[in-house]
Amino acid sequence: MNIANLAPAERALWLSRLTILAIPLAAFLGFIIQLLLAKHLLPLYGGTPAVWLGSSLYFQLTLVLGYGWAVWLLGRSTYVQAGSTVLLSVVALLTFHLPGTAAEQPSVALVVGRLALGSLPAMVLLFSVAPLLHGWVARHEGKLPYHLYALSNAGSLLALVAYPFLIEPSVGLALQSQSWKVLLHLLVALLAIASGILWFNPAPLPASEKQSDASGLPWTQLAAWLGLSALGVVHLLAATQQIAGEIGSTPLAWAGPLGLYLLGFTLVFSGRWQSWMTSLCIALLAVALSGYMQVKGFTAATISGSRLGWLLAASATGGFIGSALLHHLRPQRRPELFYLALGVGGMIGGLASTYVVPSVFAMPVEFTFTSLALLIVGLAWLFTGSGLRRLGLLALVVTAPVLTVGLHQLHQLPPGLTSLHLRDVTGGLLLEFSSAGVVISSETTTHGSQLTADEATRRRPTLYYTESSGVGRVITKLQATHPSLRYGVIGLGAGTLAAYTRPDDICDFWDIDPKALSVANEHFSYLRDARGKVNVTLRDGRQALQHSTMDYDLLVIDAFQGDHIPTHLLTREALQIYAARLATRRGLLLVHASVRHADYFPAVEATARSLGLSAMKITTQVESATDKADLNAAVSDYILICRPDRFFELAFWFPDEEDNGRVKHVVRHEPTPSNDPSQIWTDDRSSTLQTIDLGAWIKGN
């Protein structure tokens, strides 16, 4: 192919072929690199709010910058467009690198800055490809190929599905990065050919597009683009947050809501969407929202089984409505402005979800309200021309039953029970108070409790931390042979484990949530009632231990994101850090693994064994309490990691039955297959898909 001498028909054909390849590839790479960078940062900087807030803000900003770059370029001459695209491609290839370790405590500005230094040109290039090539094809073919937007979303959808199910479980970060760079080279080659076609066969810029970018654009249309895009993103994030409460904020948690969101854009902009389909989605959203409110609504019920089904149904139909209405409002010229508005609207929605929504709603009820908003907007479109009075009446008819059900649910607390919801950018906590005591949870996962009948009762550990639990038994056994004990706990909760301290004991807690420390101090008394010395540090526990020289007799991993243990706390490198802090005192490591629908033991056991350590899982069930042990006990799972020479000694700490069957222990110690290195978690490769029983979660068992 001689790109310097192409006939107009050949030029359009080749440009179309290149576009069909380049747009989904750029979208795929743009999505994958967000997951890759976020996962790379976690062990380096820890799981603090600054890391995920900085990452989220950076990706939103680069999306807008990419779209803005495309808008600016498409207003320039074809020579500037072609030359600038090639130049940016070369800079992206030469400058891209993964950020290194920061010695200082991470801040949002630091995370954004480090990410920008290593990937800003590449991110701007990737996000600019779809609107830029859309403009090139439109000017050579003389029509607006909105189906290319469907291709872009299809590329993102492929990345979303492939990453948690194919890439993350089998490919390490190093190989992911190398493969990503190879595909980036391929994209750059495609863009170079497309730029060459544009350079040697320039298409004149229409006179209508030589005006200001915002020329002739009604503010109402711009507001509609921004509003619908922002509303869709808030709706998406609200659904994702509820699923993350079950399985943690992992790529797998995004697969359902975001996959349906991207599928909506893909189908709607494919050119085959019909108005009756939008009407059907409006009706289906009304049904799905009704079902969701009946089984979940404003309650703290877990998301699984039918509740998961109704959530995804409402998420899908709401997303399809938003996509369809944006397609209905698409412009007949300057489509890159449309894409830029969608990007800005998405950023507004993301920032609102992070900073505004938590201050407006103490409870995570925004999914219901955004579903209602999408339903009302869809009905407004369906009954266009009905007048504001009729639309207002229609909105009232739709909203009243939903809110009535929600308010009824809020008033269904048992007699004598009051609740307090606390929420900020780091997430939400629920405190429930009764005459018996107080319970702390993240809506669906209980993190601690305290009974307050009298001073002696108040000092007793409860739930997963009672005297017969894995952690209770280990601490008391160690105290029997250690006049003074030093133990550390990653994850504060209610501060329950401080109850075990004796006057000469020291207990160090680490947590990343300032709200957790405030709650433990104000609503629980474990910390101030502790007989020993208790230190609480607001920092990622792994990072704190990595930079510490303190030796411990015991370390406890008791950190959760929803009902999920952050993977960076369980990798081989993390276990090496803990082992270094335990080596001098021949200490023990305990991982609290009382989670629903997941089993962390195979991965933790294989990872420990790769370091020459042994592991056992202890499941404890307490039938009843006594005057001295196990108040308000819950079934608990702990994974105990130790030197091999202590394995059998420690196993005898947990007999099958105690006190005539009042306490039962099940000790699991079978090793994973020694020839299966994929079970070993490292900073380079780990996957929560290995731990989760998807079938049980989806069925609600």
Q: Are residues 200 and 225 in the same domain?
A: no
Higher pLDDT, 546 or 388: 546
Asked if 593 and 601 touch (Cβ cutoff 8 Å), the reply is yes
pLDDT at residue 138 greater than cutoff 60 = yes
Buried-exposed string 613-629: b where 16+ CB fall within 10 A, e elsewhere? bbbbbbbbebeebeeeb
Q: Are residues 224 and 199 in the same domain?
A: no
- Name the E strands within 514-662: 533-538, 554-557, 588-592, 614-622, 631-633, 636-642, 657-658
Distances (CA, A) of 462 to 396, 497, 618, 634, 692: 47, 10, 17, 8, 27
Q: Are residues 354 and 445 in the same domain?
A: no
Q: Poorest-confidence range of 5-9, 336-340, 347-351, 552-556? A: 5-9
Query: What per-residue confidence (pLDDT) applies to 13?
Result: 75
**How many C-beta neighbours within 10 Å does residue 610 have?**
16
pLDDT-based confidence at residue 207 (cuts at 50, 70, 90): very low
User: CA-to-CA distance for 660 and 622, rounded, in angstroms?
Assistant: 11
Pair type for strands 506-511 and 486-490: parallel
Phi, psi of 419 (to 5 degrees): -135, 155
What mean pLDDT is reported for the chain? 89
Phi, psi of 663 (to 5 degrees): -120, 130
Q: Are residues 454 and 338 in the same domain?
A: no
User: CA-to-CA distance for 35 and 56, rounded, in angstroms?
Assistant: 11
* CA-wise closest residue to 364 among 242, 256, 257, 261: 242
H or E element, residue 427: strand 427-433
Q: What is the pLDDT of residues 246-264, one digit of tens each?
A: 887 788 888 889 999 999 9
pLDDT-based confidence at residue 206 (cuts at 50, 70, 90): low
Q: Which residue has the tokens 């005459």?
A: 435
Assigned domain for 149 exists: no
Distances (CA, A) of 280 to 150, 213, 576: 21, 36, 56
* CA-wise closest residue to 339 among 14, 72, 19, 31: 72
H or E element, residue 327: helix 306-328
Assigned domain for 151 exists: no
Furthest CA-CA distance within the chain? 92
Cα 301 versus chain centre, distance: 20
Number of domains in the chain: 3
* DSSP per-residue string spanning 547-578: T-----SEEEE---BTTB--GGGSSHHHHHHH
pLDDT at residue 70 greater than cutoff 60 = yes
Number of alpha carbons in the 13 Å side-chain half-sphere of residue 640 = 32
User: CA-to-CA distance for 474 and 667, rounded, in angstroms?
Assistant: 14
Quick one: DSSP state of residue 425?
Answer: T
Q: What is the CATH number of the domain that holds 589?
A: 3.40.50.150
Pair type for strands 554-557 and 588-592: parallel
Q: Are residues 18 and 49 in the same domain?
A: yes
Query: What per-residue confidence (pLDDT) applies to 386?
Result: 67
Q: Are residues 72 and 101 in the same domain?
A: yes
Asked if 133 and 14 touch (Cβ cutoff 8 Å), the reply is no
User: CA-to-CA distance for 300 and 407, rounded, in angstroms?
Assistant: 13
pLDDT at residue 11 greater than cutoff 80 = no
Q: Are residues 274 and 347 in the same domain?
A: yes
Pair type for strands 636-642 and 614-622: antiparallel
Higher pLDDT, 589 or 297: 589
* CA-wise closest residue to 637 among 621, 651, 623, 650: 621
Q: What is the pLDDT of residues 336-368, one digit of tens each?
A: 889 999 999 999 999 999 899 998 988 889 999
Assigned domain for 441 exists: yes
Assigned domain for 180 exists: yes
Which residues span the domain enclosing 135?
A: 1-142+162-204
Query: Tokens standing for 269?
Result: 């902009």
Q: Are residues 396 and 499 in the same domain?
A: no
Assigned domain for 635 exists: yes
* CA-wise closest residue to 314 among 245, 353, 370, 274: 370
pLDDT-based confidence at residue 182 (cuts at 50, 70, 90): very high
Q: What is the pLDDT of residues 12-60, one digit of tens each?
A: 677 788 899 999 999 999 999 999 998 898 888 888 888 888 889 999 9
Q: Which residue has the tokens 């706990």?
A: 489
**How many C-beta neighbours within 10 Å does residue 125 have?**
28
Number of alpha carbons in the 13 Å side-chain half-sphere of residue 389 = 0
Higher pLDDT, 250 or 226: 226
**How many C-beta neighbours within 10 Å does residue 575 have?**
24
Asked if 584 and 269 touch (Cβ cutoff 8 Å), the reply is no
User: CA-to-CA distance for 535 and 537, rounded, in angstroms?
Assistant: 7
Assigned domain for 191 exists: yes
Asked if 680 and 610 touch (Cβ cutoff 8 Å), the reply is yes
Number of alpha carbons in the 13 Å side-chain half-sphere of residue 475 = 26
User: CA-to-CA distance for 195 and 83, rounded, in angstroms?
Assistant: 7
Sign of CA dihedral 183, 189, 195, 198: negative
Query: Tokens standing for 564?
Result: 């999920």
Buried-exposed string 206-240: b where 16+ CB fall within 10 A, e elsewhere? eeebeeeeeeebeeeebebbbbbbbbbbbbbbbbb
Asked if 261 and 161 touch (Cβ cutoff 8 Å), the reply is no
The dihedral formed by the CA atoms of 324, 328, 331 and 336, expressed in degrees to the nearest 10 = 0
Q: What is the pLDDT of residues 396-447, one digit of tens each?
A: 888 888 888 888 887 777 777 888 888 887 788 889 999 899 999 887 788 9
Query: Tokens standing for 286?
Result: 């009304």
Q: Which amino acid is residue 606, in one-letter code?
A: A
Q: What is the pLDDT of residues 75-111, one digit of tens each?
A: 888 889 999 999 999 999 999 998 887 666 778 888 8
Phi, psi of 463 (to 5 degrees): 55, -120
Asked if 488 and 546 touch (Cβ cutoff 8 Å), the reply is no
Q: Are residues 19 and 75 in the same domain?
A: yes
Higher pLDDT, 640 or 254: 640
Assigned domain for 213 exists: no
Q: What is the CATH number of the domain that holds 302?
A: 1.20.1250
Assigned domain for 40 exists: yes
Q: Are residues 136 and 241 in the same domain?
A: no
Q: Are residues 383 and 462 in the same domain?
A: no
Query: What per-residue confidence (pLDDT) applies to 103?
Result: 60
* CA-wise closest residue to 310 among 353, 367, 358: 367
User: CA-to-CA distance for 605 and 680, rounded, in angstroms?
Assistant: 8
Three-class SS of residue 483? coil
Percent share of the chain, pLDDT over 70: 94
Q: Write down the number of H helices and E strands in the chain.
A: 24, 15
Query: Exposed, middle or buried: residue 406 (CB in 10 Å: 0-12, 13-18, 19+)?
Result: middle
Query: What per-residue confidence (pLDDT) applies to 563?
Result: 80
Q: Are residues 63 and 122 in the same domain?
A: yes
pLDDT at residue 175 greater than cutoff 90 = yes
Asked if 563 and 445 touch (Cβ cutoff 8 Å), the reply is yes
User: CA-to-CA distance for 211 and 195, rounded, in angstroms?
Assistant: 24
Asked if 526 and 494 touch (Cβ cutoff 8 Å), the reply is yes
Query: Tokens standing for 138?
Result: 């439109």
